[in-house]
Amino acid sequence: MKGEIFMEMANCVRCRKLFPKFKEPICEDCKKKDEELFKIVKDYLDSTPSATIQEISNETGASTKKILAWLREGRLELAETTGDLKCKQCGIDITSGQFCDSCVMEINRQIDGIISERPSVANNESAKKGIVMHTKNRK
Ligand SMILES: [Zn+2]
Ligand SMILES: [Zn+2]
C-alpha cells in the first residue's frame, strides 16, 4: 500500500503549474488572481460605464478575451453596446450574456415547446384568429 490519496493532477492552463485538478482548468493561485482582476475590471466599469472592452483592457490589464468571457457569463455588463459583444443567434450588439433579449425569449419559447412536446402555435396571430383561451376567471 502506498498510502497516497489519488488525485488527478493537471497543468494549470494559465501558469502551467502542476496542481490537483478538480473542476477548473486553472489552479487556485490563478483563480485568486482572476477574482482580484475581476474586481478591478468591475470597479473600472462602474466608474467608466461607457468604456469599450479595449479601453477596459488597457486600463486594467485584463485581456479582452477575459473581459469578453466575463461578459458572456453575465458577470459583467456593459452600460451600452460597444460592438464588441454580439448575440450568438442574430448578431446584434448586446451588453451582456450570450444572446439578445428577443433571442433569449425565442430560445425559451423553443425550450418550452420541446418540453411540452407539442408544436407551439401560441403566437399572437393564431391566438387572435381562432384559438380561444379558456380564461373564465370572471365570476
Ligand atoms: Zn495557475
Ligand atoms: Zn439575438
The whole-number pLDDT of residue 3 equals: 54
Tell how far the Cα of 88 is from the centroid of ligand 1, in angstroms: 30
Residue type, 10: A
Instruction: Please choose, from the candidates 11, 8, 14, 10, the residue with its C-alpha nearest in 3D space to the C-alpha of residue 30.
Output: 14
Residue 31 lies in a domain: yes
Asked, for residue 2, whether it belongs to a domain, the answer is: no
**Residue at 59 is within a domain:** yes
**36 belongs to a structural domain:** yes
Q: What is the pLDDT of residues 36-94, one digit of tens each?
A: 999 999 999 999 988 999 999 999 999 999 999 999 999 999 988 989 999 999 999 99
Question: Does residue 12 belong to any structural domain of this protein?
Answer: no
Number of domains in the chain: 1
| Three cell numbers written together for 115 | 418540453
Q: Is position 104 within any domain?
A: no
Its domain, for residue 70, covers 27-80
Instruction: Quote the ligand 1 centre to 34 CA distance (angstroms).
Output: 10
Share of the chain above pLDDT 90, in %: 60
Q: Which residue has the higher pLDDT, 3 or 16?
A: 16
Is 130 inside any structural domain?
Answer: no
Mean pLDDT, to the nearest integer, of 95-117? 90
Residue 30 has a pLDDT of 94
Which one-letter DSSP state was computed for residue 93?
A: B
Domain membership flag for residue 62: yes
Looking at residue 40, its pLDDT comes to: 98
What's the 69 CA to ligand 1 centre distance in angstroms? Answer: 18
